[in-house]
Amino acid sequence: MIQFKNVTYQIDDQVILSNLNFTIPPQKITALIGPSGAGKSTLLKLISTLISPTSGNILIDERSIHDINIIEHRKSIGFALQSAPMIYGSVFDNLNLPKKLFQQTLSDLEAQQLLDSVQLNDLKLTQDVSKLSGGQRQRLSIARTLVNRPSILLLDEITSSLDVKNVQTIEKLVRDIQQKYKLTVIWITHDVHQASRMSDEFIMLKEGSFITQGDSNTLFQSTNHTLQQFLEDVQ
Ligand SMILES: Nc1ncnc2c1ncn2[C@@H]1O[C@H](COP(=O)(O)OP(=O)(O)OP(=O)(O)O)[C@@H](O)[C@H]1O
Ligand SMILES: [Mg+2]
Protein backbone atom coordinates (compact mmCIF):
# COMPACT_ATOMS: atom_id res chain seq x y z
CA MET A 1 0.00 0.00 0.00
CA ILE A 2 1.31 3.43 -0.97
CA GLN A 3 -0.15 6.37 0.95
CA PHE A 4 0.22 10.03 0.07
CA LYS A 5 -0.22 12.35 3.07
CA ASN A 6 -0.36 16.08 2.33
CA VAL A 7 2.34 15.68 -0.30
CA THR A 8 3.49 18.85 -2.02
CA TYR A 9 6.34 19.03 -4.50
CA GLN A 10 7.78 22.34 -5.63
CA ILE A 11 10.62 23.40 -7.87
CA ASP A 12 11.63 26.81 -6.52
CA ASP A 13 8.32 28.70 -6.31
CA GLN A 14 6.49 26.51 -8.83
CA VAL A 15 4.07 24.07 -7.22
CA ILE A 16 4.16 20.90 -9.33
CA LEU A 17 2.06 18.70 -6.99
CA SER A 18 -0.19 20.24 -4.39
CA ASN A 19 -1.26 18.70 -1.08
CA LEU A 20 -1.98 15.17 -2.35
CA ASN A 21 -3.85 12.75 -0.12
CA PHE A 22 -4.78 9.30 -1.37
CA THR A 23 -3.97 5.63 -1.06
CA ILE A 24 -2.84 3.35 -3.88
CA PRO A 25 -4.06 -0.19 -3.19
CA PRO A 26 -1.57 -3.08 -2.98
CA GLN A 27 -1.37 -5.83 -5.60
CA LYS A 28 -3.66 -4.08 -8.03
CA ILE A 29 -3.26 -2.05 -11.18
CA THR A 30 -3.95 1.64 -10.64
CA ALA A 31 -4.20 3.87 -13.71
CA LEU A 32 -2.93 7.41 -13.34
CA ILE A 33 -4.76 9.72 -15.71
CA GLY A 34 -5.06 13.43 -16.36
CA PRO A 35 -4.05 16.09 -18.87
CA SER A 36 -0.50 16.76 -19.96
CA GLY A 37 1.39 18.64 -17.25
CA ALA A 38 -0.88 17.29 -14.48
CA GLY A 39 2.14 15.94 -12.59
CA LYS A 40 1.72 12.22 -13.31
CA SER A 41 5.36 11.49 -14.16
CA THR A 42 6.48 13.60 -11.20
CA LEU A 43 4.32 11.45 -8.92
CA LEU A 44 6.11 8.29 -10.10
CA LYS A 45 9.46 9.95 -9.49
CA LEU A 46 8.40 10.69 -5.92
CA ILE A 47 7.42 7.06 -5.33
CA SER A 48 10.72 5.84 -6.73
CA THR A 49 12.63 8.39 -4.56
CA LEU A 50 14.27 10.00 -7.58
CA ILE A 51 12.94 13.20 -6.00
CA SER A 52 11.64 13.98 -2.48
CA PRO A 53 8.46 15.77 -1.38
CA THR A 54 8.90 19.42 -0.44
CA SER A 55 6.44 18.73 2.39
CA GLY A 56 4.19 15.90 3.49
CA ASN A 57 4.95 12.21 3.57
CA ILE A 58 4.69 9.08 1.45
CA LEU A 59 4.19 5.79 3.28
CA ILE A 60 5.12 2.50 1.67
CA ASP A 61 3.46 -0.35 3.56
CA GLU A 62 2.99 2.10 6.42
CA ARG A 63 6.65 3.07 6.59
CA SER A 64 7.70 6.64 5.87
CA ILE A 65 9.75 7.15 2.74
CA HIS A 66 12.08 9.26 4.90
CA ASP A 67 12.89 6.26 7.11
CA ILE A 68 13.11 3.35 4.69
CA ASN A 69 16.32 1.89 3.34
CA ILE A 70 16.60 3.71 0.00
CA ILE A 71 18.65 0.98 -1.70
CA GLU A 72 16.21 -1.77 -0.69
CA HIS A 73 13.30 0.46 -1.69
CA ARG A 74 14.76 1.16 -5.14
CA LYS A 75 15.39 -2.54 -5.63
CA SER A 76 11.72 -3.16 -4.88
CA ILE A 77 10.64 -0.87 -7.71
CA GLY A 78 10.58 -1.53 -11.44
CA PHE A 79 10.25 1.55 -13.63
CA ALA A 80 9.49 1.47 -17.37
CA LEU A 81 9.19 4.44 -19.70
CA GLN A 82 7.63 5.13 -23.10
CA SER A 83 11.05 5.42 -24.73
CA ALA A 84 12.28 2.08 -23.30
CA PRO A 85 15.81 3.49 -22.97
CA MET A 86 18.60 0.99 -23.64
CA ILE A 87 22.34 1.13 -23.15
CA TYR A 88 24.59 0.29 -26.10
CA GLY A 89 25.35 -3.39 -26.06
CA SER A 90 23.64 -6.74 -25.98
CA VAL A 91 20.31 -7.99 -24.71
CA PHE A 92 22.21 -9.45 -21.73
CA ASP A 93 24.00 -6.13 -20.99
CA ASN A 94 20.62 -4.43 -20.79
CA LEU A 95 18.99 -7.11 -18.65
CA ASN A 96 21.99 -7.13 -16.34
CA LEU A 97 21.87 -3.37 -15.74
CA PRO A 98 19.71 -3.43 -12.57
CA LYS A 99 22.01 -6.11 -11.10
CA LYS A 100 25.13 -4.17 -12.05
CA LEU A 101 23.83 -1.12 -10.19
CA PHE A 102 24.06 -3.23 -7.04
CA GLN A 103 27.43 -4.83 -7.98
CA GLN A 104 25.84 -8.14 -8.90
CA THR A 105 25.53 -10.16 -12.10
CA LEU A 106 22.58 -11.97 -13.60
CA SER A 107 23.16 -15.60 -14.56
CA ASP A 108 22.50 -16.64 -18.17
CA LEU A 109 19.74 -18.92 -16.89
CA GLU A 110 17.99 -16.08 -15.05
CA ALA A 111 18.38 -13.85 -18.11
CA GLN A 112 16.85 -16.53 -20.34
CA GLN A 113 13.95 -17.03 -17.92
CA LEU A 114 13.27 -13.28 -17.96
CA LEU A 115 13.20 -13.28 -21.75
CA ASP A 116 10.79 -16.22 -21.65
CA SER A 117 8.51 -14.34 -19.25
CA VAL A 118 8.05 -11.53 -21.80
CA GLN A 119 7.82 -13.89 -24.78
CA LEU A 120 11.19 -12.94 -26.20
CA ASN A 121 12.45 -16.54 -26.18
CA ASP A 122 13.66 -16.24 -29.74
CA LEU A 123 16.13 -13.47 -28.87
CA LYS A 124 19.75 -14.39 -28.20
CA LEU A 125 21.35 -12.93 -25.07
CA THR A 126 24.31 -11.81 -27.19
CA GLN A 127 22.13 -9.99 -29.73
CA ASP A 128 22.75 -6.25 -30.20
CA VAL A 129 19.78 -4.22 -28.86
CA SER A 130 20.09 -1.62 -31.62
CA LYS A 131 18.49 -4.15 -33.99
CA LEU A 132 15.32 -4.68 -31.92
CA SER A 133 11.88 -3.45 -32.97
CA GLY A 134 9.95 -0.97 -30.80
CA GLY A 135 7.73 -3.74 -29.42
CA GLN A 136 10.71 -5.97 -28.64
CA ARG A 137 12.51 -3.10 -26.91
CA GLN A 138 9.50 -2.40 -24.72
CA ARG A 139 9.17 -6.07 -23.79
CA LEU A 140 12.87 -6.18 -22.97
CA SER A 141 12.49 -3.06 -20.84
CA ILE A 142 9.63 -4.74 -18.94
CA ALA A 143 11.76 -7.86 -18.43
CA ARG A 144 14.48 -5.57 -17.07
CA THR A 145 12.10 -4.10 -14.50
CA LEU A 146 11.62 -7.63 -13.11
CA VAL A 147 15.31 -8.38 -12.56
CA ASN A 148 15.41 -7.38 -8.89
CA ARG A 149 12.05 -9.05 -8.15
CA PRO A 150 10.16 -5.79 -7.49
CA SER A 151 6.91 -5.48 -5.57
CA ILE A 152 5.97 -2.19 -7.26
CA LEU A 153 5.91 -1.58 -10.99
CA LEU A 154 5.76 2.00 -12.31
CA LEU A 155 4.80 2.33 -15.97
CA ASP A 156 4.96 5.72 -17.67
CA GLU A 157 3.05 5.56 -20.97
CA ILE A 158 4.79 2.38 -22.02
CA THR A 159 2.50 1.71 -24.98
CA SER A 160 2.18 5.25 -26.35
CA SER A 161 4.49 4.74 -29.31
CA LEU A 162 3.46 1.16 -30.20
CA ASP A 163 1.04 -0.19 -32.81
CA VAL A 164 -2.21 -1.91 -31.84
CA LYS A 165 -0.80 -5.43 -31.91
CA ASN A 166 2.15 -4.55 -29.70
CA VAL A 167 -0.16 -2.65 -27.35
CA GLN A 168 -2.25 -5.81 -26.95
CA THR A 169 0.85 -7.93 -26.32
CA ILE A 170 2.17 -5.52 -23.66
CA GLU A 171 -1.24 -5.23 -21.96
CA LYS A 172 -1.53 -9.01 -21.66
CA LEU A 173 2.03 -9.21 -20.45
CA VAL A 174 1.53 -6.63 -17.71
CA ARG A 175 -1.65 -8.35 -16.56
CA ASP A 176 0.11 -11.76 -16.45
CA ILE A 177 3.16 -10.41 -14.66
CA GLN A 178 1.04 -8.47 -12.18
CA GLN A 179 -0.86 -11.60 -11.24
CA LYS A 180 2.13 -13.91 -11.21
CA TYR A 181 4.29 -11.69 -8.97
CA LYS A 182 1.41 -10.01 -7.09
CA LEU A 183 2.71 -6.60 -8.09
CA THR A 184 1.37 -3.20 -7.19
CA VAL A 185 1.26 -1.51 -10.59
CA ILE A 186 0.84 2.20 -11.27
CA TRP A 187 0.26 2.80 -14.95
CA ILE A 188 0.23 6.27 -16.49
CA THR A 189 -1.71 6.30 -19.73
CA HIS A 190 -3.17 8.94 -22.03
CA ASP A 191 -5.57 6.33 -23.37
CA VAL A 192 -8.64 6.36 -21.12
CA HIS A 193 -9.96 3.18 -22.73
CA GLN A 194 -6.70 1.46 -21.84
CA ALA A 195 -7.07 2.81 -18.30
CA SER A 196 -10.57 1.41 -18.10
CA ARG A 197 -9.76 -2.05 -19.49
CA MET A 198 -6.38 -2.53 -17.80
CA SER A 199 -6.69 -1.11 -14.33
CA ASP A 200 -8.61 -2.01 -11.20
CA GLU A 201 -8.64 1.55 -9.91
CA PHE A 202 -7.91 4.98 -11.33
CA ILE A 203 -6.63 8.24 -9.93
CA MET A 204 -7.04 11.51 -11.78
CA LEU A 205 -4.73 14.50 -11.38
CA LYS A 206 -5.03 17.92 -13.00
CA GLU A 207 -2.63 20.85 -12.67
CA GLY A 208 -0.87 19.19 -9.77
CA SER A 209 -4.03 18.53 -7.77
CA PHE A 210 -5.90 15.35 -6.94
CA ILE A 211 -9.28 15.34 -8.70
CA THR A 212 -10.87 11.97 -8.02
CA GLN A 213 -10.25 8.26 -7.58
CA GLY A 214 -12.40 5.19 -8.09
CA ASP A 215 -13.11 1.73 -9.43
CA SER A 216 -12.06 1.64 -13.10
CA ASN A 217 -15.27 -0.15 -14.07
CA THR A 218 -17.05 3.07 -13.16
CA LEU A 219 -14.59 5.45 -14.88
CA PHE A 220 -17.02 6.41 -17.65
CA GLN A 221 -19.94 6.75 -15.25
CA SER A 222 -18.17 9.15 -12.91
CA THR A 223 -20.18 12.16 -11.84
CA ASN A 224 -17.04 14.19 -11.21
CA HIS A 225 -17.32 17.19 -13.50
CA THR A 226 -13.57 17.66 -14.12
CA LEU A 227 -13.20 13.98 -15.00
CA GLN A 228 -16.24 14.09 -17.29
CA GLN A 229 -14.79 17.10 -19.07
CA PHE A 230 -11.41 15.37 -19.43
CA LEU A 231 -13.03 12.22 -20.87
CA GLU A 232 -14.94 14.34 -23.38
CA ASP A 233 -11.78 16.20 -24.40
CA VAL A 234 -9.69 13.09 -25.00
CA GLN A 235 -12.21 10.89 -26.78
N1 LIG B 1 12.54 19.37 -13.65
C2 LIG B 1 11.53 20.21 -13.87
N3 LIG B 1 11.75 21.56 -13.89
C4 LIG B 1 10.73 22.42 -14.10
N5 LIG B 1 9.45 22.05 -14.27
C6 LIG B 1 9.19 20.74 -14.27
C7 LIG B 1 10.19 19.75 -14.07
N8 LIG B 1 9.61 18.52 -14.09
C9 LIG B 1 8.31 18.74 -14.33
N10 LIG B 1 8.05 20.07 -14.42
C11 LIG B 1 6.73 20.67 -14.65
O12 LIG B 1 5.83 20.02 -13.79
C13 LIG B 1 4.57 19.85 -14.40
C14 LIG B 1 4.19 18.37 -14.33
O15 LIG B 1 5.08 17.63 -15.15
P16 LIG B 1 4.90 16.06 -15.37
O17 LIG B 1 5.96 15.66 -16.33
O18 LIG B 1 4.89 15.39 -14.06
O19 LIG B 1 3.46 16.01 -16.04
P20 LIG B 1 2.70 14.78 -16.71
O21 LIG B 1 1.35 14.71 -16.10
O22 LIG B 1 3.55 13.58 -16.65
O23 LIG B 1 2.56 15.30 -18.23
P24 LIG B 1 2.58 14.45 -19.61
O25 LIG B 1 1.23 13.80 -19.70
O26 LIG B 1 2.79 15.50 -20.65
O27 LIG B 1 3.72 13.49 -19.54
C28 LIG B 1 4.70 20.40 -15.81
O29 LIG B 1 4.19 21.71 -15.81
C30 LIG B 1 6.18 20.42 -16.04
O31 LIG B 1 6.55 21.45 -16.92
MG1 LIG C 1 4.46 12.36 -18.06
pLDDT attached to residue 102: 86
Q: How many Cβ atoms from other residues are within 10 Å of residue 116's Cβ? A: 11
Per DSSP, the three-state class of 44 is: helix
How many A from CA of 39 to the centre of ligand 2? Answer: 7
How many structural domains does the chain have? 1
**1-43 residue pLDDT tens:** 999 999 999 999 999 999 999 999 999 999 999 999 999 999 9
CA-CA-CA-CA dihedral for 122, 93, 98, 147, to nearest 10: 20
Angle between helices 91-100 and 108-117 (to 10 degrees): 110
Spatial separation of the C-alpha atoms in residues 210 and 89, rounded to whole Å: 41
Q: Ligand 1 centre from 42 Cα, in Å?
A: 6
* pLDDT < 50 positions in the chain: none
Tell me whether residue 7 is in a domain.
Answer: no
Pocket of ligand 1 contains residue 36 by CB under 6 Å:
yes
Atom of ligand 1 nearest to the CA of 42: 18
Q: For residue 187, is it within any domain?
A: yes
Name the residue of 16, 20, 192 whose CB sits within 8 Å of the most ligand 1 atoms, as the mutation to test its pocket. 16
**Is 10 inside a domain boundary?**
no
Angle subtended by helix axes 91-100 and 134-145, to nearest 10:
30
Assigned domain for 196 exists: yes
Q: What is the Cα 56 distance to its own chain's centre?
A: 22
pLDDT number for residue 5: 98
* Prediction pTM value: 0.95
Q: Is 13 in the pocket of ligand 1 (CB under 6 A)?
A: no
In a domain, 62, yes or no: no
26: domain CATH number? Answer: 3.40.50.300
Residue 152 CA to residue 198 CA, distance in Å, equals 16
- How far apart CA 7 and CA 114 sit, in angstroms, is 36
Give 156 Cα–ligand 2 centroid separation in angstroms.
Answer: 7
16 lines ligand 1 (CB under 6 A): yes
Nearest residue (CA) to ligand 1, atom 7: 11
Domain presence at residue 4: no
Locate all alpha helices (DSSP H) within 118-163, ordered by sequence.
134-145
Proximal ligand: closest to the CA of 40: 1
222, 214 Cβ separation under 8 angstroms = yes
Question: To test ligand 1's pocket by mutation, which of 42, 156, 194 has the most ligand atoms within 8 angstroms of CB?
Answer: 42
Side-chain-facing half-sphere of 114: CA atoms under 13 Å: 25
What residues make up the domain containing 182? 18-38+77-233
Mutate to test the pocket of ligand 1, among 18, 32, 41 (most ligand atoms within 8 A of CB): 41
pLDDT at position 172 is 93
